[in-house]
Amino acid sequence: MPNPHGEVPGTGEYRSCSLPTADAGKPCCTSDGCEGRCRPRPGSLPGKPARGTCSSETMPGCWSRYDEGGNYLGDVCI
């Protein structure tokens, strides 16, 4: 049974929820403009400017990283 933080003691397992977003499909350059994350278009290269669309759901544990200039830095999931 998960504790209040979503962790299942003794298993190394973490449970989380993914919730729908109201801005799904909205054009974006960084995740700051999205309820979830800004998913870059396929073929976007790290270190280059990237445009994408806001995700249709929140994704706990995953982030698309961008620098201050809107350059896509890659995805991180834990």
How confident is the model over 7-53, as pLDDT tens digits? Answer: 555 555 555 667 889 999 999 887 778 888 888 888 888 888 888 89
Tokens of 21: 């977003």
Half-sphere exposure of 40 (CA within 13 A, CB side): 20
**Residue 52 domain boundaries:** 19-77
What's residue 24's pLDDT?
93
- Within a domain: residue 53? yes
What's residue 8's pLDDT?
53
- Within a domain: residue 5? no
- Within a domain: residue 7? no
- Within a domain: residue 32? yes
CA dihedral 23, 27, 29, 33 (to 10 degrees): -20
- Within a domain: residue 8? no
- Within a domain: residue 65? yes
Higher pLDDT, 59 or 9: 59
What is the rounded distance in angstroms from the CA atom of residue 9 to the CA atom of residue 30? Answer: 35
Number of domains in the chain: 1
pTM: 0.62
What's residue 9's pLDDT?
55
Q: Which residue has the tokens 């209040």?
A: 4
- Within a domain: residue 27? yes
Which residue, 8, 46, 49, 52, is CA-closest to 34?
52
- Within a domain: residue 4? no
Higher pLDDT, 20 or 6: 20
